[in-house]
Amino acid sequence: MTQDETTVEAISLLQDLGLQEYEARCFIALNKLPNGTAKEIHEISEVPRTRVYDAIRVLESQGLVEVQHSSPQRYRAVGITEATRILREKYNDRIDTLETYLEETDVEEPGDDEHVQEIWSLSGHEAIESRTLELIGNAESEIALLVVDDDVLSEALFDGVEQATERGLTVVLGGQTPETTATLEARLPETRVFETEMEWLTGSELDAEVAISRILLVDRETLLIGTYYPDADSGKSKEQAVFAKGLQNGVVVLLRRLVTAGLSAIEDPGT
């Protein structure tokens, strides 16, 4: 990444953290100088000189810039450690405030039949992993997880499954390969682990461009299936998933029976 590209990216990130564009540009300019006047900041940041003063006042009020009362006035950015601490606290405060507002928002309760055909889609490895961990964390009685792609295996997943086991839940894990199965057995010795032997998980030559990454069945009523494109440049970002909820959901019933057909350790009550 070139110096100009780094500067553009840094300005964009500062805007994501709550600074306005001129404030971000002035702050980056001051990070390139030991200290500077409004004129020097203007020349480096390309912020109109009359707007530099406004931007500096905001940065000073936030503790990001110090002012030397000389003639002309000189300014300097606080140290990187101090700046990142201030921005992190500001960002965390905003998240905490948002969480409070969301918790105080009245949500209309769904009717009794609104969960029957509940199907959702997700995109991206991080979003799918987050939902996987949420479903495991909220499980009440039983978890069945089939791991096809080893990218699914993460420390967060191991921790989530271990905590579910400690809560007394029934946990059954399947690995698509002997290597994956061995990893699951080594990391989660308190759970039941088996090799799936379900060839349909990896598909055939006709649909080899799409592969299943994970299948999660929680409490026999919530199902998540992840897929990905093995030949994609960045496989994790290309992962897609659908998850369905509801005992009467046709998708859940069908796929639950397909999954549990290969889980001899769990008896499917729907068959």
pLDDT digits (tens, 9 = 90+) for 201-226: 555 544 556 778 898 989 888 889 88
Q: pLDDT tens across 69-87, in order?
A: 888 999 999 999 999 999 9
Q: How many whole angstroms separate alpha carbon 124 and alpha carbon 78?
A: 37
More confident residue, 259 or 170: 170
* Residue partners of 194: CB distance under 8 A and separation at least 6: 172, 173, 174, 175, 181, 263, 264, 265
Domains parsed from the chain with CATH numbers: 3-104 (1.10.10.10), 118-260 (3.30.870.10)
Calculate the CA 137 to chain-centre distance: 16
Q: How many whole angstroms separate alpha carbon 144 and alpha carbon 250?
A: 19
Q: pLDDT tens across 9-30, in order?
A: 999 999 988 899 999 999 999 9
Contact criterion met (CB below 8 Å) for 201 and 176: yes
Is the alpha carbon torsion for 36, 41, 43, 48 positive or negative?
negative
